[in-house]
Amino acid sequence: MAEESKRVALLVFLFFIFIFLAVIIFVFSYSSYRQTKNYTTETTKTSLECSSYSFRIVGGSISYENSTLSFIIDPTLGGSSVKNSLIITVAGEDIETQPIDFTFKQKIKLQTEEPGSFEVYPKGCKDLLKLCDSRTNRCE
């Protein structure tokens, strides 16, 4: 009888260890799932939103005259009308333009000091950054 009660006690003890390990594995798995889901949702959302703003700066269109920097943007994707502001970084200062339509070519003008090099990207889409130089009239 004593041996029987030891066996039952051991089985109960092992059962509780099993339950404890199952809870730990569940909590770890759920936490990992939530982190992955949040990262994927945010990354996908940004990628989908920014895909509408694909553009290039027309070669040879960059000019600086009378304290005005100007260049022409040309959308590389057609489609429905999408609007967003451009962020232009000149000498470490971010300048936001009025919302522009990314479905047709247009000239951007900006009052600034001699910029030398500057960056252009749609607001919220820094992955689409174009690094330009007004002296060489080129963008990367």
Report the pLDDT value the prediction gives residue 1, as an integer from 0 to 100. 66
Q: Compute the mean pLDDT over every residue in the chain, rounded to the nearest whole number.
A: 85
Q: What is the C-alpha radius of gyration for the chain, rounded to an integer number of angstroms?
A: 29
Helix, strand, coil share (%) of the chain residues, nearest 5: 40, 30, 30
Looking at residue 23, its pLDDT comes to 96
- Say which DSSP state 99 is in: P
Query: Which band of pLDDT confidence, cut at 50, 70 and 90, is reported for residue 14?
Result: very high
- Which pLDDT value is given to residue 79? 54
How confident is residue 135, by pLDDT bands cut at 50, 70 and 90? Answer: confident
Q: Residue 133, Cβ neighbours under 10 Å: how many?
A: 14
Strands, E, within 1-140: which ranges? 55-57, 63-65, 68-75, 83-84, 86-90, 93-96, 100-101, 106-111, 117-122, 130-133, 138-139
Q: Which of 7-11, 81-85, 132-136 has the lowest mean pLDDT?
A: 81-85
Paired tokens of 11? 């089985």
- Give the per-residue pLDDT at 77: 73
Q: Residue 6 and residue 91: Cα distance in Å, rounded?
A: 78
> What pLDDT does 113 receive?
78
